[in-house]
Amino acid sequence: MNANLPIADRGARQLSSSAKLSSAVPAAHRKRHSALVRVTHWTTTVAFFALLVSGGEIVLSHPRFYWCETGNVNMRPWLNLHLPSSRDTIPTGYGYVLPDQNGWSRYLHFQAAWLAVGTGLLYVLFGFFAGHFRRNLFPAASDRSIKELGGSLVRHLRFERPGKEEAWSYNVLQRLTYLLVIFVLFPLMIWTGLAMSFGFTSEFPLAVRLLGGQQTARSLHFLVTIFLVLFLLIHVLMVFVAGFRNRMRAMITGRATPPTE
């Protein structure tokens, strides 16, 4: 009995030391984002920038937008970007024509689009089956009140830095915005993109018919792009407001440090 006491005491001291070490682990070692969220985030970022560059070049082939099924230079567009074109058949008012880069731009746009679609599907499946949406994105009933939404909006407009409680989760305005992008804007972007493909619409004509025509699909595709670019700019701005280094570390390594107050 007595011989065993030092061993038991030594074990107790070891457990106590382990507990102290555990409690002394700095907050920087706490997990913020899972590996799959980080990989899909950066893959989508690369794909989105490739889509922007290639899509911009495609727009230059005809920088005008129409509604309904058809649109050409003899029709009045609802939007004229007043940019020089890469096609000499477009009367832009400029005395020159840009080099035609539609070959590589359409190829890159197609490849980047499928990369974004595949990444998005993986993220959505993970979000549902791993509980990511339920835990991190779907706001609780108490957060969906007008008071809570208004308060979150005011804090964002004042560019207030988030508190400790927001270091490990999203506020209600962020949650609703991310849900809008994931479940409305991105699906609409995919739908309108497919509706501009003659090969796709020949097999599924209802896809373009529901939108009102291929020119309407092209216009909606452009408008959704504008909304996504605005989302990206505001997202980056809020990352700087919340703490650029900390937020970037969280999205690269998965771990972050809560702000000190």
Give the DSSP per-residue string, 88-112: TTS--S-SS-----HHHHHHHHHHH
Q: What is the mean pLDDT of the chain?
A: 85
pLDDT value, residue 154:
83
| Residue, of 10 and 107, whose pLDDT is higher | 107
Tokens of 62: 């005809």
pLDDT value, residue 20:
39
Residue 163 has pLDDT above 80, yes or no: no
Let me know the angle formed at the C-alpha of 78 by 206 and 102, rounded to the nearest 5 degrees: 70
Cβ-contact 61, 87 below 8 angstroms: yes
pLDDT value, residue 24:
41
- Average of pLDDT values for 219-228? 98
Cβ-contact 84, 228 below 8 angstroms: no
Residue 8 has pLDDT above 70, yes or no: no
pLDDT value, residue 128:
94
Per-residue model confidence as pLDDT tens digits over 183-204? 999 999 999 999 999 999 999 9
Among 13-27, 107-121, 163-177, which stretch is predicted with the lowest mean pLDDT? 13-27
- Average of pLDDT values for 211-229? 97
Per-residue model confidence as pLDDT tens digits over 206-218? 999 999 999 999 9
Tokens of 166: 């927001």
Per-residue model confidence as pLDDT tens digits over 23-67? 344 544 567 889 999 999 999 999 999 999 999 999 999 999 999
Q: Which residues pair with 64 in a beta bridge?
A: 80
